[in-house]
């Protein structure tokens, strides 16, 4: 079975500072990797995903994540955060089955609450 | 506007009562999912359906039931057998398959006393 560990439950930072939210996963098979963001009292929105190819993936609002197969990690980074980035961030994996497809079952980490202070 | 709707946003029930949470999507997605969110535990999959009239148990299906009679609808019933039903419930849909983005509804917060 697969599992996802987000190493920090809360990350406070000041506006315009860099931030890294850490995610490690455990799986005996290949996976797709995702970061979702949840603003207070809302559903989740996809931030970015890694399926294959370049190990560095980027979102439209300045976040990036790098897939590291040897370390089974998919850390999320942003060089300069804004107040509006305050939210809870979830890392998730979807197992790729033997046929090369995936059933869409997501396994989520516990979440990291990012709080950006002025 | 295309999207997923969940109703109601807040729901209160007495212990021992069954309650049904609504989830409707107009995205023409084949796959739909129900998750439960508890503080500090992330999201856990309750049930999922890849096609109409078919659904599978997720990781925490005990005490829950679902139906998928229409492509656009995937209601979740929280039964009296669910020992700790108070939680935030999120419904999602996707085109199908794990490579595709899941689109989430706004959630229903259920409180059982």
Residue of chain A minimizing CA distance to B88: A41
In eight-state DSSP terms, residue B102 is P
Q: Does B61 touch chain A (CB under 8 A)?
A: no
Instruction: Using the predicted structure, report yes or no on whether residue A25 has a pLDDT greater than 80.
Output: yes
Q: Chain A residues with CB-CB distance to B under 8 A?
A: 4, 6, 9, 32, 36, 41-46, 49, 51, 90, 92, 94-96, 101-111
Q: Is the peptide bond before B8 cis (omega within 30 degrees of 0)?
A: yes
Rounded to whole angstroms, how far apart are CA atoms B102 and B27?
11
- Asked if B101's CB is within 8 angstroms of A103's CB, the reply is no
Rounded to whole angstroms, how far apart are CA atoms A47 and B93?
16
Strongest mean pLDDT among A9-18, A38-47, A98-107, B38-47: A9-18
Residue B4 has a CB neighbour count (10 Å cut-off) of 23
Strands (E), chain B: 4-7, 10-13, 19-25, 31-37, 43-51, 54-57, 64-66, 76-78, 87-94, 103-104, 108-112
Instruction: Using the predicted structure, report yes or no on whether residue A46 has a pLDDT greater than 80.
Output: yes
In angstroms, how far is the first alpha carbon of chain A from the final one? 41
A34-53 mean pLDDT: 91
pLDDT of residue A102: 63
Q: Which of A10-14, A37-41, A95-99, B48-52 has the lowest mean pLDDT?
A: A95-99
Rounded to whole angstroms, how far apart are CA atoms B21 and B91?
9
How far is B49 from chain A, CA to nearest CA, in Å? 10
pLDDT of residue B19: 95
pLDDT of residue B75: 98
Give residue A72's pLDDT band: very low, low, confident or very high (50, 70, 90): very high
Ramachandran angles phi, psi of A85, nearest 5°? -80, -5
Ramachandran angles phi, psi of B90, nearest 5°? -120, 135
How far is B96 from chain A, CA to nearest CA, in Å? 7
Q: Does B2 touch chain A (CB under 8 A)?
A: no
How far is B102 from chain A, CA to nearest CA, in Å? 8
Give residue A96's pLDDT band: very low, low, confident or very high (50, 70, 90): confident
Residue to test with chain A: of B4, B99, B105, B110, most A Cβ within 10 A: B99
pLDDT of residue A100: 61
Give residue A99's pLDDT band: very low, low, confident or very high (50, 70, 90): low
Give the pLDDT of chain B (113 residues) as one tens digit per residue: 679 999 999 999 999 999 999 999 999 999 999 999 998 889 999 999 999 999 999 999 999 999 999 999 999 999 998 999 999 999 999 987 777 889 999 999 999 99
Q: Within 13 Å, how many C-alpha atoms sit on residue B1's CB side?
A: 3
CA-CA-CA-CA torsion sign (B66, B42, A32, B94): positive
Q: What is the mean pLDDT of chain A?
A: 92
pLDDT of residue A111: 96
Contacts of A43 in chain B (CB under 8 A): 4, 90, 92, 104-107
Beta pairing partners, B21: B76
Nearest CB among B45, B100, B105 relative to A43 is that of: B105
pLDDT of residue B101: 87
């Amino acid at each position: 079975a697969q599992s996802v560990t987000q190493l920090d439950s809360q990350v406070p930072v000041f506006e315009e500072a860099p931030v890294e939210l850490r995610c490690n996963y455990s799986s005996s098979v290949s996976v797709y990797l995702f970061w979702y963001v949840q603003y207070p009292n809302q559903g989740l929105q996809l931030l970015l995903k890694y399926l294959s190819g370049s190990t560095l993936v980027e979102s439209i609002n300045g976040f990036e994540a790098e897939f590291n197969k040897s370390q089974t990690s998919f850390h999320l980074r942003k060089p300069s955060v804004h107040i509006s980035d305050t939210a809870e961030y979830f890392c998730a994996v979807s197992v790729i089955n033997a046929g090369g497809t995936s059933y869409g079952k997501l396994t989520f980490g516990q979440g990291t609450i990012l709080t950006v202070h002025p | 506007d295309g999207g997923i709707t969940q109703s109601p946003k807040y729901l209160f029930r007495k212990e021992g009562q069954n309650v049904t949470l609504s989830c409707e999507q107009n995205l023409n997605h084949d796959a739909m999912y129900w998750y439960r969110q508890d503080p500090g535990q992330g999201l856990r999959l309750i049930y999922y359906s890849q096609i109409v009239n078919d659904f599978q148990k997720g990781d925490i299906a005990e005490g829950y039931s679902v139906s998928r009679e229409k492509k656009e609808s995937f209601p979740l019933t929280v039964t009296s057998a669910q020992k700790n039903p108070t939680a935030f419930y999120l419904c999602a849909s996707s085109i199908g398959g794990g490579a595709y983005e899941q689109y989430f509804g706004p959630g229903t917060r259920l409180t059982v006393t």
